[in-house]
């Protein structure tokens, strides 16, 4: 069963984020707290949304997908960025991941999102196989760029003052 996450799922979502980070060999980078996730998912202005996969027989949470809308200047429409997709090891191969992806695709269709995008580590062959089986296009000519820590702060220090700053900035 796939359902929208509720505030009562926050602790379990955080636990699965840590499990995913361990699988991706980066557990030290998964620093989000339950309170941060609660605000991001269920605060006054949600930054992201989540779906939960439950085992049909036991009702136990076996996976989740966390996503947020994005905007394409090329299409002039919103799209979806899937930040995390995780199915616990004991539940893999039972279709939960594909069910989560199908539910997300349905959200895209319902909202007129023209693009559904995510990243996958190049060594994660099981996930790559699933994505290929669904017809995902791999954009190998694009490279992910990231600024964080000191380089982000150094660049921010060079910013000119903004004129007519909107509340969102």
Give the residue numbers marked as catalytic. Answer: 131
Q: Which residues contact 157 (CB under 8 A, 6 or more apart)?
A: none
CA distance 100 to 16: 15
Cα distances from 154 to residues 29, 31, 158, in angstroms, run 21, 22, 7
């Amino acid at each position: 069963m796939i359902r929208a996450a509720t505030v009562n799922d926050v602790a379990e979502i955080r636990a699965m984020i840590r499990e995913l980070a361990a699988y991706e060999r980066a557990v030290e980078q998964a620093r989000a707290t339950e309170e941060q996730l609660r605000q991001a998912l269920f605060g006054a202005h949600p930054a992201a949304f989540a779906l939960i996969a439950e085992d049909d027989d036991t009702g136990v949470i076996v996976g989740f997908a966390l996503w947020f809308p994005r905007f394409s200047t090329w299409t002039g429409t919103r799209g979806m960025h899937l930040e995390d997709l995780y199915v616990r090891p004991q539940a893999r191969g039972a279709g939960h991941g594909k069910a989560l992806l199908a539910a997300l695709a349905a959200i895209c269709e319902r909202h007129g999102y023209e693009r559904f995008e995510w990243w996958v580590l190049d060594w994660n062959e099981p996930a790559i196989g699933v994505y290929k089986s669904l017809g995902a296009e791999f954009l190998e000519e694009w490279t992910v760029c990231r600024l964080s820590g000191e380089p982000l702060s150094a660049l921010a220090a060079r910013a000119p003052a903004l004129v007519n700053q909107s509340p969102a900035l």
